[in-house]
């Protein structure tokens, strides 16, 4: 596979936790430089912004945009207009309209745009999708709960418009559900609990249905203490499938099919390399559309102020 030279935009938690080890494991990816107003990485050229990084390193052929979501569009567009391939951290944008414009822009420029739904690369997802393909889903229960103070320390942007609050992790569950469920599903009801000092929910309960009448219930909560719960249980006409631990454990009718450690970002970079090599784009807005629907149609209730 042909090599690509990467610039990282935003050097925060997800870059340090996930992108760096995955890049190191991707032979065809050469990390050239970073752009971040304050943060940098040892032994790597660092710039305060995307344009400065691209000006200094014309050899960069691709960028990964890992900044807070409200910055995604302007940075991605600037990179696309300079003929760079672009990996968008999830969510791919703050609004659906801006993502549509990025798709058009990438097409016009003849470069690859990749909306990287990392949870879809969890070990059990592909097999869950295959097993469910032929079955009639009757009921789905999704529980996606984590401690915001552990997983998003100091991230004030998450409480601002575009930050999505609990939908920042919740969209990971929706990225899996939209990939593995054999039918499209639609929001029926949503209850969004918003802290009195925030613009985005700290918890959300969602009820969906599909064209066959299956019930899909999702419970997202940032107020979890202790280990996270990232589970979904799917009842079908031929038994039960459980995808738990964020997709690392797959159980079908009480038989453990997959139980392994998480390595989503290696798969994600391998896909980006493949897309670049084939000059293709992959941008599925289905998870973002579900979140937009929840904001459009949900009941909003005010709850206690959030104190970090
Ligand atoms: P983060 O820790 O806040 O990191 C974001 C970084 O971007 C910070 O270093 C920030 O600097 C920097 N930044 C701000 N403005 C910038 C600009 N104009 N140009 C370049 N860099 C800029 O956030 P994160 O957790 O890494 O999340 C980043 C994105 O990845 C989010 O969209 C999130 O949804 C997604 N993601 C996060 C996780 C997770 O578990 N944390 C998992 C998967 C995906 P300052 O702090 O100085 O503003």
Q: What CATH number is associated with residue 61? A: 3.40.50.720
Is the CB of residue 228 below 6 angstroms from any atom belonging to ligand 1? no
- The finding on whether 12 has its CB within 6 A of some atom of ligand 1 is yes
Whether 253 and 133 map to the same domain: the answer is yes
Active site residues: 90
Structure tokens given for 211? 């064209």
Looking only at the bridges linking them, the beta strands covering 29-35 and 46-47 are parallel
Beta bridge partners of 115: 88
Do 162 and 177 share a domain, yes or no? Answer: yes
**Looking at the structure, do residues 103 and 152 belong to the same domain, yes or no?**
no
Residue 30 in domain: yes
Among 115, 130, 118, smallest CA distance to 263 is for 118
Task: Pick the residue whose CA is nearest to atom 9 on ligand 1.
Answer: 12
Are residues 137 and 163 located together in one domain of the fold? yes
Cβ-count burial 11-23 (b if 16+ within 10 Å, e if not): bbebbeebbbebb
From residue 109, how far is each of 43, 99, 147, 217 by CA, in Å?
A: 32, 15, 41, 41
Q: Is the CB of 67 under 6 A from ligand 1?
A: yes
Last residue of a domain, one of 116, 140, 158: 116
129: in domain: yes
Pocket test for ligand 1, best of 9, 14, 264, 287 (most atoms within 8 A of CB): 14
Q: What is the pLDDT of residue 1?
A: 64
pTM: 0.95
* 144 and 110 in a common domain: no
Which residue is associated with the tokens 């990025």?
102
The reply to whether 111 and 131 lie within a common domain is no
Residue 162 and residue 235 share a domain? yes
200, 62: one domain: no
Phi-psi region of 245 (alpha: psi -120 to 50; beta: other; left: phi over 0): left
CA dihedral 32, 35, 40, 45 (to 10 degrees): 40
- Pick from 77, 96, 116: which residue ends a domain? 116
Report pLDDT for 263. Answer: 84
- The reply to whether 77 and 197 lie within a common domain is no
List the beta bridge partners of residue 188. Answer: none
Q: Specify the CATH number for the domain of residue 243.
A: 3.30.360.10
The ligand 1 atom at the shortest distance from the C-alpha of residue 168 is: 34
Q: What is the pLDDT of residue 262?
A: 84
Q: Which residues, 6 or more positions from 301, have their beta carbon under 8 angstroms from its beta carbon? A: 191, 192, 193, 194
Residues 134, 237, single domain; the answer is: yes
Last-in-domain residue among 116, 140, 159: 116
Q: Which protein residue's CA is at the shortest distance from atom 19 of ligand 1?
A: 36
In whole angstroms, give the CA distance from residue 66 to residue 34: 11
Domains in the chain, number: 2
Range of the domain at 28: 4-116
Helix (H, G, I), strand (E, B) or coil at 64: strand
pLDDT tens digits for the chain (308 residues)? 679 999 999 999 999 999 999 999 999 999 999 999 999 999 999 999 999 999 999 999 999 999 999 999 999 999 999 999 999 999 999 999 999 999 999 999 999 999 999 999 999 999 999 999 999 999 999 999 999 999 999 999 999 999 999 999 999 999 999 999 999 999 999 999 999 999 999 999 999 999 999 999 999 999 999 999 999 999 999 999 999 999 999 999 999 999 998 889 999 999 999 999 999 999 999 999 999 999 999 999 999 999 98
- Kindly give the distance from the C-alpha atom of residue 12 to the centroid of ligand 1, in angstroms, as a whole number: 5
Examine residue 271 and state whether it is found in any structural domain, yes or no: no
């Amino acid at each position: 596979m042909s090599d690509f030279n990467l610039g990282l935009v935003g050097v925060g938690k997800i870059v340090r936790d996930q992108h760096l080890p995955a890049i190191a494991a991707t032979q065809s990816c050469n990390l050239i430089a970073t752009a971040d107003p304050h943060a940098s990485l040892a032994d790597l050229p660092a710039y305060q912004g995307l344009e400065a990084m691209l000006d200094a390193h014309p050899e960069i052929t691709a960028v990964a945009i890992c900044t807070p979501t409200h910055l995604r569009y302007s940075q991605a567009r600037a990179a696309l207009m300079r003929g760079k391939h672009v990996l968008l951290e999830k969510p791919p944008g703050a609004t659906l309209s801006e993502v549509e414009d990025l798709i058009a822009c990438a097409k016009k420029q003849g470069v690859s745009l990749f909306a990287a739904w990392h949870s879809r690369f969890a070990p059990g997802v592909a097999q869950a999708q295959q097993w469910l393909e032929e079955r009639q889903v009757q009921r789905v229960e999704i529980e996606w709960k984590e401690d915001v103070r552990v997983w998003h320390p100091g991230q004030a942007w998450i409480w601002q418009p575009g930050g999505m609050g609990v939908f920042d992790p919740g969209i990971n569950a929706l990225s899996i559900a939209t990939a593995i469920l054999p039918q499209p599903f639609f929001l029926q009801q949503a209850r969004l609990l918003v802290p009195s000092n925030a613009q985005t929910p700290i918890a959300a309960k969602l009820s969906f249905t599909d064209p066959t009448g299956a019930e899909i219930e999702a419970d997202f909560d940032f107020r979890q203490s202790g280990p996270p719960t990232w589970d979904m249980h799917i009842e079908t006409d031929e038994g039960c499938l459980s995808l738990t631990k964020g997709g690392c454990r797959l159980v079908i009718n009480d038989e453990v099919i997959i139980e392994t450690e998480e390595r989503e970002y290696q798969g994600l970079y391998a896909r980006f390399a493949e897309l670049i090599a084939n000059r293709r784009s992959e941008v599925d807005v289905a998870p973002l559309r579900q979140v937009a629907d929840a904001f459009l149609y949900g009941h909003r209730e005010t709850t206690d102020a959030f104190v970090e």
